[in-house]
Amino acid sequence: MGKTQTDSEIFGTTIFDGEQARKGYAINRMCYSLNAAANRTAFLRDQDAYCERYGLTQQQTEAVRSGKVLAMIEAGGNAYYLAKLAGTLGLDMQDIGAQQTGVTVEEFKARLAAAGH
């Protein structure tokens, strides 16, 4: 069904499907826990210990430690849950966008504005 029959890759995009959901369960569960303020405090106090408590894989723990969103996605992270981690770290969506696309925050914002023209 659909106008496009193939599920061929979309540039710079990971479809969060069953495979990703299995792979990323621990890191996403950890991020989901950050809805609670007490958990955000505990995470910020000792990130590695917090990741260990949620059973993150070594790849996931290293991705979190690196602060690199692309590495977290590679490790199975889902945007909706990673957003909570970003919020915990005080980053907004333009910070995250700039980081993932390798431009400055100002350049990223200019790109967004240009998309409206």
Which residues of this chain interact with another protein, rule CB under 8 A? 1-4, 7, 10-18, 21, 25, 28-29, 31-32, 34-37, 40, 69-70, 73, 78-84, 86-88, 92-94, 96-97, 100-101, 108, 111-113, 115-116
First CA to last CA distance, the chain = 33
- Give the dihedral sign, CA 63/68/73/77: positive
Instruction: In angstroms, give the least distance from the CB of 35 to another protein.
Output: 5
Q: Of 58 and 115, which CB lies nearer to another protein in the complex structure?
A: 115
Please report, for residues 101, 106, 108, the alpha-carbon distance to residue 94 in angstroms, rounded to integers and kept in the order given: 10, 9, 7
Q: Of 67 and 87, which CB lies nearer to another protein in the complex structure?
A: 87
Instruction: In angstroms, give the least distance from the CB of 68 to another protein.
Output: 12
20 with 28: CB under 8 angstroms?
no
